[in-house]
Amino acid sequence: MAHHRITVLPGDGTGKEVSKEALNLLKTIEQHSPLSFEITEIPCGGEYYLETGEEWPSGSFEYCRDESDAILLGAIGWPGAIKPNGDLAGGQVILGLRSGLDLYANVRPIKLYKGIRHKIHGEFKQVWTPGLVDMTIIRENTEGLYQPLLSRSAHLARGEEYLGISDISIPGVEGEFAWDPRPISRLGSERVIRFSFELALQRNGCPSDGTTRVSCIDKSNVTRGCQLFRKIYHEISAEYPDIETDEAYIDAFTMWLVRQPEFYDVVVVPNMFGDIVTDLASSLQGGMGMAASANIGDQHMLFEPVHGSTPKRAGKGQVNPIAMLSSVQLMLEWLGRRKGDNDATIASNIIESAIEELIAIGNPLTYDLGGSSSTSEVSLAVCELVSKKLKLQYTSA
């Protein structure tokens, strides 16, 4: 019987609420399929830091590294939860794991389901066409502008000292200043770009005409790091002659993304640009309540909704659980792929079709999609559809 060790890090605010629903979904799957999960929950994040002075219990990083097949994270970040040096409290969890476990590809699928209405000018309207928005953005996840904080967080998570880079002087800059280095390395670029080409081989191409394409998005007209990134993109694309290439600067890309999303299949982008552009891209699929992600490395993987802890909604049971339930779907997809577990693949497909069906029916939905139902009502509806589909799958098989 397939058995998976899942470590759940609920984190802050609404991250805790949606993590509870992820656990309900996993229970539903265990009840109706051959899959079984060994679940360990670890408290962590900014709120935990304010209560305890620690970002998570000691040994948590090692537990995630050594005792987990997959990690599921709610959200990190809480108002006022800042460390004395200015770092985000909870950074050890989200950034320490991304860096410390070498989760170099942040995979963010952008797919629009039929029935989604987009919130525009305070109203809900259907803007983009379902079927014409189906791309995966791959955000580089271990370097760029995040590198110093990523590396510092990973050192702290392992209980090691961090020797930061020393201060510098910059010609033309006088008086007090702050600066952020942005290292982009050959190794870091090669692995995430190759990952993107490999992922493109497993997809069905872009929605407009099925062309398999990897778009490289950067700012190589201005920054050295992006010039290296683009150069390596050219080198690696030569290894994949059947995959179409496409290049754009990040500023122009933000325009093309909303004007012709159907053109995009796989998009690879340096860290900070990827952070920004995936929030924008989520609006194509109905908002952050729909945006799921996978942080993938060669040895480890972590899954999380793209949204944050949403302090103003926290504790009210209002937020959309679908981003988290879709993150569970991605987790099962990757467990299926990496561990050759066909039941995990089946469960992943079933979660996706349940979410698709719920949205097509249009009820229950949360406020962000124009509904008025609660987090748990939506989650329960997904779980009911999932159990119905699993029963059908395993009794007719």
Minimum distance, C-beta of residue 374 to ligand IPM, in the bound complex (Å): 25
- Which stretch, 77-85, 154-162, 269-277, 312-320, contacts Mn ion (CB under 5 A)? 269-277
Binders of ligand IPM in range 155-174 (CB under 6 A): none
Nearer to Mn ion, 21 or 275 (CB): 275
- Beta pairing, strands 266-269 & 3-11: unpaired
Nearer to ligand IPM, 217 or 383 (CB): 217
Total residues at the site for ligand IPM (CB under 6 A)?
A: 6
Question: What is the rounded CA–CA span in Å between residue 205 and residue 201?
Answer: 8
Q: Which of 64, 73, 94, 133 binds ligand IPM (CB under 6 A)?
A: 94
Minimum distance, C-beta of residue 235 to ligand IPM, in the bound complex (Å): 27
Instruction: Give the contact letters, 304-343, x = binds to ligand IPM (CB under 6 A), - = no.
Output: --x-x-----------------------------------
Total residues at the site for Mn ion (CB under 5 A)?
A: 1
Residues 6+ apart with CB under 8 A from 117: 124, 125, 126, 286, 369, 370
Nearer to Mn ion, 246 or 275 (CB): 275
Tokens of 9: 């890090």
DSSP 135-199: EEEEEE-SSGGGHHHHHHHHHHHTT----PPPP---TT--SS---------HHHHHHHHHHHHHH
Residues 6+ apart with CB under 8 A from 59: none
Q: Is 275 in the site for Mn ion (CB under 5 A)?
A: yes
Out of ligand IPM, Mn ion, none, what residue 77 binds, judged by CB under 5 to 8 A for its kind, is ligand IPM
Nearer to ligand IPM, 81 or 94 (CB): 94
Task: For residue 76, give the nearest of 304, 292, 296 by alpha carbon.
Answer: 304
244 strand-pairing partners: 213
Instruction: Please report how many Cα atoms fall inside a 13 Å half-sphere around the Cα of residue 329, on the Cβ side.
Output: 25
Question: What is the rounded CA–CA span in Å between residue 336 and residue 345?
Answer: 5
Minimum distance, C-beta of residue 381 to Mn ion, in the bound complex (Å): 28
Binders of ligand IPM in range 285-304 (CB under 6 A): none
Nearer to ligand IPM, 93 or 226 (CB): 93
Burial of 190 (0-12, 13-18, 19+ CB in 10 A): middle
**CA torsion sign, 90 to 301 to 249 to 185?**
positive
Q: Closest-CB residue for ligand IPM?
A: 275
Q: Closest-CB residue for Mn ion?
A: 275
Binders of ligand IPM in range 73-92 (CB under 6 A): 76-77
Question: What is the rounded CA–CA span in Å between residue 97 and residue 259?
Answer: 35
Residue 177 contacts residue 170 (beta carbons within 8 Å): yes
Question: What is the rounded CA–CA span in Å between residue 266 and residue 236?
Answer: 15
Nearer to ligand IPM, 270 or 308 (CB): 308
Instruction: Give the contact letters, 254-283, x = binds to ligand IPM (CB under 6 A), - = no.
Output: ---------------------x--------
State the residues that interact with ligand IPM by CB under 6 A: 76-77, 94, 275, 306, 308
**Residues interacting with Mn ion, by CB under 5 A?**
275
